[in-house]
Amino acid sequence: MVDLIPSSDTVMQILKRTGAFREGHFVYPNGKHSPYYFQMPLAFRYYDTARVLAVALSRKFRVDRDISSQLPKVSIISPSSGGIPVAFGVRDALSAEQIYWAEQEGDKRRFRQYINKGEVNPSIMVDDIIRSGHAIEETDSLVKELGSPVIGCGAIVRFTAAPDKLGAVPIRSLVEFDAQMYDEGEDCRDCKKDVPVEHVRF
Ligand SMILES: [Zn+2]
């Protein structure tokens, strides 16, 4: 089964082909500069591509005995809208019972109203991309408030600057990517060359 997980190169080819992986001179919403940007929904707009990526990620969880032994009484949780197609795909592949997702309401990340403590199965958190890790860390706290242990965590792409663990839980990904982020424009390679910047919204 492990052999059926596509290589990082294969996944990057899919992301390039669909326009999800982009090269240029980008300024992220937090002000950081990078020569790379991932607009992951562009890969998830094609059903077949979405399926390949989600099934591949699901296999990283399936091989974990602690996780596979708890199926199907597991909840797949997304920290934001970008992770929702990933969550549905992974749920499908693992036949997990539940799906939840958090949303940003103003400056606060929350689940929808009326989800009660004790209703959420042991959880696997999935996202399309983990850039800083803040979204999954915030969602981890929300899930714990609902009384659910987090038993797995993963994304299609994880930036190498982000944490590779959530507490004791390893963060699994199909691609580990060094985004070469610059905190300030003055350190940025492309700013020094006067390359025009593109501001990205997410
Ligand atoms: Zn720059």
Task: Please report which helix (H) or strand (E) contains residue 141, including its range.
Answer: helix 134-145
Distance, CA of 161 to CA of 18 (rounded, Å): 25
Number of CB atoms found within 10 A of residue 31's CB: 11
CA of 126 to the centre of ligand 1 (A): 30
Average pLDDT in the 52-79 region? 97
Strand order in the sheet with 33-38: 33-38, 21-27, 198-199
- Residues facing 34 on adjacent strands: 26
The answer to whether 96 and 90 have CB atoms below 8 angstroms apart is yes
Ligand 1 center–CA 195 separation, angstroms: 8
Q: How far is the CA of 45 from the centre of ligand 1 (A)?
A: 29
* C-alpha of residue 25 to centroid of ligand 1, in Å: 6
- Give me the chain's average pLDDT, please: 95
Model confidence at 32: pLDDT above 80? yes
Place 202 in a pLDDT band, splitting at 50, 70 and 90: confident
Q: Please state, in angstroms and rounded to a whole number, the distance separating the CA atoms of residues 165 and 171.
A: 5
Ion ligand 1: residues, Cβ under 5 Å: 33, 185, 188, 190-191
pTM above 0.85, yes or no: yes
Mean pLDDT of 173-202: 93
Contact, 60 vs 126, CB < 8 A?
no
What the block records as the tokens of 144 is 């714990």
Which of 162, 66, 76, 87 is CA-nearest to residue 124?
A: 76
Distance 178 CA to ligand 1 centre (A): 16
Ligand 1 centre distance from Cα of residue 36 (Å): 11
Instruction: Check pLDDT > 60 for residue 61.
Output: yes
For residue 184, what are the contacts with CB-CB under 8 A and spacing of at least 6? 33
Task: Give 185 Cα–ligand 1 centroid separation in angstroms.
Answer: 5
